[in-house]
């Protein structure tokens, strides 16, 4: 098995993970997987099946039955499938986002996703973002990043993402605070910076500044060398 190159990015919702991961993917050629989309795909299946997102056994069964998969798209990203259905374009709604946080608290669900994600990282050079990437999924990686920003700034960014959809700043802020509490407060693999992670507060930084800082710290110095 060749050594794989990986970049692990963690941080709370709205901290800029996907923007930065996409820019890093363009800069390095490494494909980008948003592991949050895998939890969102479970949330979609849970919503469709009208399952209680807090019922761990039912959510896990739903995830297994739905055969959630992430498949490289050959263009620097991954498509998310439930069985044979490509659901990638259905995962960004506010409702799916809201349900994805409680479905992700269950040990059985997380074990399933972590195992899929580790298989992907064993087969592909990859940039992954999420909540437990540096601490669990890619804990062997030499390139770990933790992005943060104030909850007010993250709400402002989220509101821009939702442009055109009727929602208020106050609603987005409340939703983010609830998700922060669940993502960081849950028992299994809570969100926290991995040991040795490069921690960046992006509140007052442009995406370009963040990417530059990361490239300077890791890729430029390392010259693109592979890691485990
Ligand atoms: O990054 P996102 O907003 O798309 O993630 C959706 C939810 O999934 C988020 O509330 C937390 C959860 N998640 C997780 O628990 N672990 C991950 N590796 C990725 C996401």
Q: What is the pLDDT of residue 219?
A: 64
Chain position carrying tokens 């019922």: 55
Q: Is 35 in the pocket of ligand 1 (CB under 6 A)?
A: yes
Taking the centre of ligand 1 as the mean of its atom positions, its distance from the CA of residue 221, in whole angstroms, is 30
Q: Helix 207-214 to helix 17-28 angle, to the nearest 10 degrees? A: 50
Architecture of domain 6-217: 3-Layer(aba) Sandwich (3.40)
Which residue's CA is the closest to the ligand 1 atom numbered 13?
A: 36
Beta strand 6-10 with 144-148: parallel, antiparallel or unpaired?
parallel
What tens-digit pLDDT sequence spans the chain (228 residues)? 556 899 999 999 999 999 999 999 999 999 999 999 999 999 999 999 999 999 999 999 999 999 999 999 999 999 999 999 999 999 988 899 889 989 999 999 999 999 999 999 999 999 999 999 999 999 999 999 999 999 999 999 988 887 666 678 999 999 999 989 988 988 889 999 999 999 999 999 999 999 999 999 986 544 444 443
Q: What is the pLDDT of residue 3?
A: 67
Q: What is the pLDDT of residue 2?
A: 55
Chain position carrying tokens 């986002």: 97
Which residue's CA is the closest to the ligand 1 atom numbered 9?
A: 101
Q: Is 191 in the pocket of ligand 1 (CB under 6 A)?
A: no
Q: What is the pLDDT of residue 227?
A: 45
Task: Enumerate the domain spans of the chain.
Answer: 6-217
End-to-end alpha-carbon separation of the chain, Å?
10
Q: Is 132 in the pocket of ligand 1 (CB under 6 A)?
A: yes
| Cα 94–chain centre separation | 16
Pair 31, 74: CB distance under 8 Å: no
Which atom in ligand 1 lies closest to the alpha carbon of residue 117?
Answer: 18
Q: Is 40 in the pocket of ligand 1 (CB under 6 A)?
A: yes
Beta partners for residue 82, in sequence order: 68, 85
């Amino acid at each position: 098995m060749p050594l794989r190159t990986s970049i692990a990015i963690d941080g709370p919702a709205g901290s800029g993970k996907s923007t930065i991961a996409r820019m890093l993917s363009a800069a390095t050629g490494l494909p980008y997987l948003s592991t949050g989309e895998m939890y969102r795909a479970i949330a979609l299946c849970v919503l469709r099946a009208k399952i209680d997102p807090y019922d761990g056994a039912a959510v896990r069964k739903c995830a297994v039955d739905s055969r959630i998969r992430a498949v490289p798209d050959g263009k620097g990203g991954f498509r998310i499938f439930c069985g044979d259905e490509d659901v990638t374009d259905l995962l960004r709604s506010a409702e799916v986002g809201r349900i994805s946080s409680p479905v992700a608290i269950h040990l059985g669900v997380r074990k399933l996703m972590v195992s899929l994600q580790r298989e992907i990282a064993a087969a592909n050079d990859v940039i992954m973002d999420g909540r437990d990437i540096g601490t669990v999924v890619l804990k062997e990686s030499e390139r770990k990043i933790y992005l943060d920003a104030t909850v007010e700034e993250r709400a402002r960014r989220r509101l821009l993402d939702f442009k055109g959809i009727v929602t208020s700043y106050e609603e987005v802020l409340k939703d983010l605070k609830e998700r922060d509490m669940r993502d960081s407060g849950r028992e299994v693999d809570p969100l926290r910076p991995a040991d040795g992670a490069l921690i960046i507060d992006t509140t007052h930084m442009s995406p370009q500044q963040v990417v530059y800082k990361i490239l300077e710290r890791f890729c430029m110095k390392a010259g693109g060398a592979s890691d485990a």
